A and B are shown apart, each in its own frame.
Chain A
Amino acid sequence: MFNKFKPYLIVLISLVSLFFIIIFSSGSEMIILDPKGPVGALQKDLIMLSIYYMLGIMVVVLSFFTVILLKYRSSKKDSDYKPEMHGSTKLEIIWTLIPVLIVIALSIPNTKALYELREAPKATAHKDPIVIHATAADWKWIFSYPEEGIETVNYINVPEDHPILFKVTAADSMASFWVPQLGGQIYGMPGMVNDLYLQADEPGTYDGRNSNFTGEGMTHQKFDFVALEEEKYREWVKDSQENEPKLTEETYEKLMLPDTVDKMTFSSTHLAFVDHGKNSEYAMAIREKYGVEASSHGADKDAESSHGNHGDHGDMEDHDNHEDHDGMKDHEDHEEEHKDHENNEGHEH
């Protein structure tokens, strides 16, 4: 009997070992289960709760499964055989009710967590959150500190153990703001603002990414979330305010063009030019002004690797479908007005 089962046993043991190899694979830390801040910790607790329930379900079902297959295989001659069994109302009730209870058991903490995540972390509720506007623009992250009057690109410095309120929006694409080791993500979209609280309990550099597909350069749309000691943070703020260049509108317009860029720091914010949370048309208007497409692909594209389009924006292909339509003429005129309107206002957020 054992011989017949050898292949199945081999497979089973291999799969189980594979499972453990995977879990303990070196070089890959499950950072979501190792949060460094209260937001991520709340989510991790919820995740672990669900994992326990799911493991429980799997153990039960897989046990029944294994026993049934072993016991009732046709090569076993002496097993019970009831070909006309139609069902059992009692069993149906049991295996409906228990899942209902499990769903309720998971829904309650989930709903609680959803409401809790809307507010600042409880541990540091006495501190005023630092507000940072996070704007995704193909394919970079632009961070504005309205109170401090600083703007950074592709990195943020924050003090440790201090709640940060991110106002997430975007200039052009629907991007997702995510720092996995600190907490969950939220989308940024042009014309909308979504709030996200994050906090780092200890100093360190944490990877931030865009996790929603936005085209060619999305893979490189990363940023560093750097938590510093309180003193060092204050020094950095002061240093940036005094020594970094002001953000000119021209520089900012270049940031609206699709490209990946290096880290930058400025001593003023773009909120003077535009509030992407209210204005969804700015980036598109800039691109039209510079005659730029978001991506040039198709037959002419060179099959090259790595980073997004650094050059090659001169493609004045006739793909702009909007040019030929009467309706759009109004739209274009309207856009021009809108842009002038923005320029003339020049107001602080």
Chain B
Amino acid sequence: MAHSTNIDPNTPLEYQSEIGKLNIFGFWVFLGAEVALFATIFATFFALESGTVGGPLPSEVFDLKNTIIMTLLLLISSFTSGISINELRRRNVKGMMVWLIITLFFGAGFLYMEITEFLHLIHEGAAMGTNAYWSSFYLLTGTHGLHVSLGILWIILVMFQVKRQGLNPDTAKKLFVSSLYWHFLDFVWIFVFTSVYLLGMVG
């Protein structure tokens, strides 16, 4: 665990410590594992897609308008997360916090709409235990939603730490890693939106 000396001030803050570099690289590896995780969940979804007996068809109960708004919210939140990192590069703590809060709002909005959608679906007779299709639906969207919820809590914790300790290589690393996570979730959502909702309306 050597300490770095003679750091080029142009190096992004999160890469200025040994631990920072290791953590960021390690997180990319972790994202590789997450890809494997979601790939398995997608495979399950596609394998069980035809198990729709005993429950409503997706095309009967999906509200695509709702889903498009959700998608936009998440996409925007990913964008604002990028802006917050840009503010981090400019060492502008206040700006960064503002954009992070906006990110969280959009993320929370996404979650809110997803939860209301779930409640609506259950009301229409599409619960997790209804049939194989709906079990996989909730598995995929639910796992994603759970990741988003954890992400929101995580970013709040990080923001709190920035407030307390200020901006340093350690907190910068945490901001960067949590933003990587957030982008990843958005990336996964594109596939969810396409495979589940778009294809579900057509199939």
Contacts and interface: CB of A to CB of B under 8 A. Distances in A.
Interface stretch (A124-132, A308-316, A325-333): A325-333
A76 interface: no
B54 A327 contact: no
Nearest to A325: B129
B146 to A, nearest CB: 19
Interface in A219-256: none
Contacts of B54: 330-331, 334
Find the residue from A322, A328, A331 having the highest chain B CB count within 10 A.
A331
**Range of interface residues on chain A?**
under 10
Interface in B124-143: 125, 127-131
Contacts of B151: none
Interface in A243-301: none
B169 interface: no
Contacts of B131: 331
B95 interface: no
Nearest to B131: A331
Find the residue from A327, A328, A330, A331 having the highest chain B CB count within 10 A.
A327
B120 to A, nearest CB: 15
Contacts of A330: 54-55, 125, 127, 129-130
Nearest to B54: A334
A325 B138 CA distance: 15
A322 B55 CA distance: 17
B117 to A, nearest CB: 17
Contacts of B129: 322, 325-328, 330-331
A338 to B, nearest CB: 9
Contacts of B125: 330
Contacts of A325: 129
Nearest to B125: A330
Interface in B184-202: none
Interface in B83-142: 125, 127-131
B57 to A, nearest CB: 15
B122 to A, nearest CB: 8
A322 B127 CA distance: 14
A326 B130 CA distance: 9
Contacts of A334: 54
A154 to B, nearest CB: 33
A130 B38 CA distance: 47
Interface string B43-77: 00000000000110000000000000000000000
Nearest to B53: A334
Contacts of A327: 127-130
B121 to A, nearest CB: 12
Interface string B127-167: 11111000000000000000000000000000000000000
Contacts of A328: 129
A23 B130 CA distance: 55
Find the residue from B54, B128, B131 having the highest chain A CB count within 10 A.
B54
Interface string A4-17: 00000000000000
13 contacts: A325-B129, A326-B127, A326-B129, A327-B127, A327-B128, A327-B130, A328-B129, A330-B55, A330-B125, A330-B130, A331-B54, A331-B129, A334-B54
Given A325-B129, A330-B125, A331-B54, 4 more contacts: A327-B129, A328-B129, A330-B127, A330-B130
